[in-house]
Amino acid sequence: MLDLHTHLWPHEPGTRLPSYDELGHWCERATAAGVQQLAVTEHSHRFDEIARVARASWTRDGSPALRAAADHVWDVEGGAHLDDYVELLTTAQRRGLPLLVGLEVDHLPGANDAVAEVLTAYPFDVLLGSVHWLGSWLFDAYDTPVFAAEWDSRSVDDVWSAYVDAVDDLARSGHVDVIAHADVIKVAGRRPADLAGFEDRLGAALARSDVAVEVSSAGWRKPINEPYPSMRLLQSLRDAGVPLTTASDAHRVEQLGYRFDELYAVLARLGIDTIATFERRSRCTFRAG
Ligand SMILES: [Zn+2]
Ligand SMILES: [Zn+2]
């Protein structure tokens, strides 16, 4: 089993890098959970080198309160350095730890090309692409009151439509290798009346791009309480031959390989017997299970 989406830090202030021994301990925990290889894919906004270019060119809308809340996220969670992060992971990899050098890259309209340019200087194995932001709205931060309130003031159809357009953009950009939590817009439990119509649009956008899509157990930790993507969307991706990865989106060591036995049972039920992994951004296949 492969866990290609994991984080070093929870969503709290502080970006202290682990030691090599700590990373080794995490790999041991992952192995104990049945995970043979993991990718460390920290959020792009936690790194000063990315924040500098992204915040200068990111096109944002939203109320002053929403913008202030967005700035607050970047201010309190930032501070890490990409050079140190990549050096730590490549060194650990060289010493034999079963991990990939990755990053979870936010879709930020206006800033995507500039961010991609910064990233070309580093030897990443895999770049995940994520839509968390619609303008200044961090829609999956449903436990932050200012972000949660937006769900009550917008039309669910408009929100889903904007989200699908953003994923389409990101998938076609060529900047990332995997679309993370492809239908995370469902996270807070708000679904449009024509859910199937939106899923069809999302599935078509993913199928015509050259990205892999992750199957993630993280949705089981959220109000929606189901994996990403939904069973229906996953079946359509399988039918279209879209490469798939598996992910826990762990933000704590105990979440590595979270409910992977159940996740891999879902894949087996759908007849999916190969998944994708990556080496220096080149996709390869791995036997599922
Ligand atoms: Zn994410
Ligand atoms: Zn993540």
- pLDDT for residue 136: 94
Token duo for residue 21: 């021994």
- Cβ-in-10-Å burial (0-12, 13-18, 19+) of 225 comes to exposed
Question: What pLDDT was estimated at residue 109?
Answer: 93
Question: What are the tens digits of pLDDT across the range 52-106?
Answer: 999 999 988 889 999 999 999 999 999 999 999 999 999 999 999 999 999 999 9
Query: In this model, does residue 272 exceed pLDDT 80?
Result: yes
Q: What are phi and psi of 265, to 5 degrees?
A: -65, -35
The reported pLDDT for the residue numbered 273 is 94
**pLDDT of 223-260, one tens digit each?**
999 999 999 999 999 999 999 999 999 999 999 999 99
> What is the number of other CB atoms lying within 10 angstroms of the CB of residue 267?
20
Instruction: Give the angle 247-93-107 at the CA atoms, nearest 5°.
Output: 45
Instruction: Return the closest-CA partner of residue 170 out of 213, 228, 136.
Output: 213
pLDDT at residue number 243: 98
Which one-letter DSSP state was computed for residue 281?
Answer: T
Q: How far apart are CA 212 and CA 220, in angstroms?
A: 21
For residue 186, pLDDT over 80 is answered with yes
Ligand 1 centroid vs 231 CA: distance in angstroms? Answer: 19
Cα–Cα dist 249/277, whole Å:
16
d(CA 126, CA 138): 24
Tell me, what's the pLDDT at 110?
93
Specify the pLDDT at position 18: 96
Q: Which ligand is nearest the CA of 130, by number? A: 1
Q: What is the pLDDT of residue 59?
A: 87
**Structural contact between residues 186 and 230, judged by C-beta atoms closer than 8 angstroms:** yes
Task: Please give the distance, rounded to the nearest whole angstrom, from the Cα atom of residue 41 to the centre of ligand 2.
Answer: 7
ω into 229 cis (within 30 of 0) = yes
Contact indicator for 65, 146 with CB cutoff of 8 Å? yes
User: What's the 155 CA to ligand 1 centre distance in angstroms?
Assistant: 23
Q: Which residues surround ligand 2, an ion (CB under 5 A)?
A: 104, 249
* 183 CA → ligand 2 middle, Å: 13
The residues, any chain, with a CB within 8 Å of residue 186's CB and separated by 6 or more, are: 219, 224, 230
At residue 11, the 3 state secondary structure works out as coil
Q: What's the whole-number mean pLDDT along residues 153-161? A: 97
What mean pLDDT comes out for the span 14-38? 95
Q: What is d(CA 106, CA 114) in angstroms, rounded to the nearest whole number? A: 12
pTM for the full predicted model = 0.97
**Considering every ligand atom, which ligand is closest to the CA of 180?**
1
pLDDT in tens, 97-135: 999 999 999 999 999 999 999 999 999 999 999 999 999
Contact indicator for 74, 15 with CB cutoff of 8 Å: no
Q: What is the H or E stretch that residue 4 is in?
A: strand 2-6
Strand partners, 39: 100
Ligand 2 centroid distance, CA of 121 (Å): 22
Residue 289 pLDDT more than 80? Answer: no
CA 103 – ligand 2 centroid, Å: 9
- Averaged pLDDT score across all residues of the chain: 96
The arithmetic mean of pLDDT across residues 209-233, rounded, is: 96
CA distance 212 to 170: 12
- Is-contact 273 287, C-beta < 8 A? yes
φ, ψ (nearest 5 deg) of residue 2: -120, 135
